[in-house]
Structure 1
Amino acid sequence: MQLANYLFFTTTCEQALGFYERCGLGRTVEILRHGENGMPVHNEAMRGRIMHARFEGPGVLFFASDNHDAEPMRGSAHILMMDDHTQTDTLFGKLADGGRITTPLGMQPWGDYYGKLTDRFGVQWMLNCAIASRRDSTA
């Protein structure tokens, strides 16, 4: 069993996937489009838009599509568990471009370097870099 997120967009799935590729998260490895290669079209406005996509990178897997009835994303976020402070800064800056930072990157009470943002496509991201030694939770 593996848990993976599925992101729903109304018309910006392709742009979002390209953005995530440029950020260095991975690449789109599969795309099916509404109305192409036998795929159905339930709404003509969706013709040619992404019906299903698979996105993969090192430690990253999610799926995405455009849907005419997609609801704004809320109540869920991708969390990226990082192990390098500089990479965390770089990726956070790229994902935040055109978006909104809700928790600036910084040291947190639990001892990790953490920040949260909503990107330009409405997807929430949390980056957590465990750079401090772990405390014994049994103490």
Structure 2
Amino acid sequence: MQLANYLFFTTGCEQALAFYAACGLGEVTELKRYGRDGQPPTAAMEGKVMHARFEGPGVLFYASDNHDAEPMRGSAHILMLEDRGETARLFGQLAEGGTVTTPLGIQPWGDYYGKLTDRFGVQWMLNCRL
């Protein structure tokens, strides 16, 4: 058994996945589109992402476009890292165009940690044990 998240976007799934790949989190390993891969589309969804699998070292999640998607609430991806410099680099990239909710820094529990909501509305927590 493995737990994996499924992210829903209204129409920005492909752009979000390209952004995550550019940040170095991994790559799209499966992509199905509305109107091309068996799912009849509405006019607004034609060619949009019906289902995608995103994988990288220690990263696995799924994503798609959905006309009724709501902003992510009450949940976040947490990336557990081992290098402080890599944590700072990745945090900075994911924060571009987004909102930092907890600035990256040493926290009361002793780890280097920060939290943000990226430009696509996905919440991320990055934690590096010192």
Q: TM-score, normalised by structure 1?
A: 0.92
- Equivalent-residue separation in structure 1 for 2:40 and 2:53 (angstroms): 18
Equivalent position amino acid for 2:73 in 1: R
- C-alpha deviation, 1:40, in angstroms: 2.5
- Alignment-derived partner of residue 91 in structure 2: 92
Determine helix, strand or coil for the equivalent of 2:68.
Answer: coil
Determine helix, strand or coil for the equivalent of 2:85.
Answer: helix
- Alignment-derived partner of residue 37 in structure 1: 37
- Alignment-derived partner of residue 65 in structure 1: 64
User: 4+ residue runs of structure 1 moved beyond 4 angstroms?
Assistant: none
- C-alpha deviation, 1:38, in angstroms: 2.4
- Equivalent-residue separation in structure 1 for 2:32 and 2:40 (angstroms): 10
- Equivalent-residue separation in structure 2 for 1:37 and 1:74 (angstroms): 30
Unaligned stretches of 5+ in structure 1?
132-139
Equivalent position amino acid for 1:21 in 2: A
Tell me the alpha carbon deviations over residues 34-68 of structure 1, each in whole angstroms, 9 at most, x when there is no partner: 01032332x22101000000000000000000000
1:100-111 superposed matches below 5 A: 100-111=99-110
- Equivalent-residue separation in structure 1 for 2:23 and 2:73 (angstroms): 22
RMSD (Å) for aligned C-alpha atoms:
0.7
- Equivalent-residue separation in structure 2 for 1:12 and 1:2 (angstroms): 26
Q: % of aligned pairs identical? A: 74
Equivalent position amino acid for 2:92 in 1: G
- C-alpha deviation, 1:72, in angstroms: 1.3
Moved more, 67-76 or 4-13: 67-76
Tell me the alpha carbon deviations over residues 87-123 of structure 1, each in whole angstroms, 9 at most, x when there is no partner: 0000000000000000000001111000000000000
Larger Rg: 1
Aligned length: 130
Determine helix, strand or coil for the equivalent of 1:39.
Answer: coil
- Alignment-derived partner of residue 23 in structure 2: 23
Unaligned stretches of 5+ in structure 2?
none
- Equivalent-residue separation in structure 2 for 1:52 and 1:7 (angstroms): 10
Determine helix, strand or coil for the equivalent of 2:44.
Answer: helix
